[in-house]
A = this chain, B = another copy of it.
Amino acid sequence: MNSKASNNISEQKFQFSPIGIIQSPYQEKFAIPRQPGLVSAAKGQILLQNEANNSELLRGIEQFSHLWLIFVFHGTLAQGWKPLVRPPRLGGNEKMGVLATRSTFRPNPIGISVVTLDSVETYLEAKKQQAILHISGLDLLNGTPILDIKPYIPYSDSLADAQAGFAQQAPQASLVVKFSTIAMKQLNELQQHYFDLKLLINQVLAQDPRPAYKQGKVDNKIYGMALYDLNIQWQMYSLEQIEVLKISQHNVHQ
Residues in B neighbouring A16, C-beta threshold 8 A: 13-16, 108, 110
Write out, one digit per residue, whether chain A residues 32-61 have a CB within 8 A of any chain B CB (1) or not (0): 000111000000000001111011111111
Min distance, Cβ A41 to any Cβ of chain B, angstroms:
17
Which of B66, B102, B161 is the one whose CB lies under 8 Å from A150? Answer: B102
Residues in B neighbouring A98, C-beta threshold 8 A: 57
- Verify A97–B56 contact, CB threshold 8 A: yes
Residue of B nearest to A80 (CB): B1
- Verify A145–B9 contact, CB threshold 8 A: yes
Copies of the protein in its oligomer: 2
Residue of B nearest to A47 (CB): B9
Residue of B nearest to A139 (CB): B156
Residues in B neighbouring A95, C-beta threshold 8 A: 59
Interface residue? A175 (CB, 8 A): no
Min distance, Cβ A213 to any Cβ of chain B, angstroms:
19
Write out, one digit per residue, whether chain A residues 96-140 have a CB within 8 A of any chain B CB (1) or not (0): 111111100011111010100000000000000000000000000
Write out, one digit per residue, whether chain A residues 180-200 have a CB within 8 A of any chain B CB (1) or not (0): 000000000000000000000
B-binding segment of A69-77, A217-225, A242-250: A69-77
Min distance, Cβ A160 to any Cβ of chain B, angstroms:
5
- Verify B110–A147 contact, CB threshold 8 A: yes
Which of B50, B68, B77, B168 is the one whose CB lies under 8 Å from A112? Answer: B68
- Verify B70–A54 contact, CB threshold 8 A: no
Interface residue? A254 (CB, 8 A): no
- Verify A106–B148 contact, CB threshold 8 A: yes
Interface residue? A167 (CB, 8 A): yes
Complex: A54 Cα to B61 Cα, angstroms: 40
Min distance, Cβ A219 to any Cβ of chain B, angstroms:
27
Which of B17, B68, B100, B169 is the one whose CB lies under 8 Å from A108? Answer: B17
Closest 8 CB pairs of A and B: A63-B165, A59-B97, A61-B100, A65-B163, A60-B100, A35-B156, A155-B170, A60-B96
8 further A-B pairs in the complex, CB-CB below 8 A; given A3-B77, A154-B168: A10-B49, A12-B145, A19-B108, A59-B84, A60-B96, A63-B100, A108-B148, A114-B157
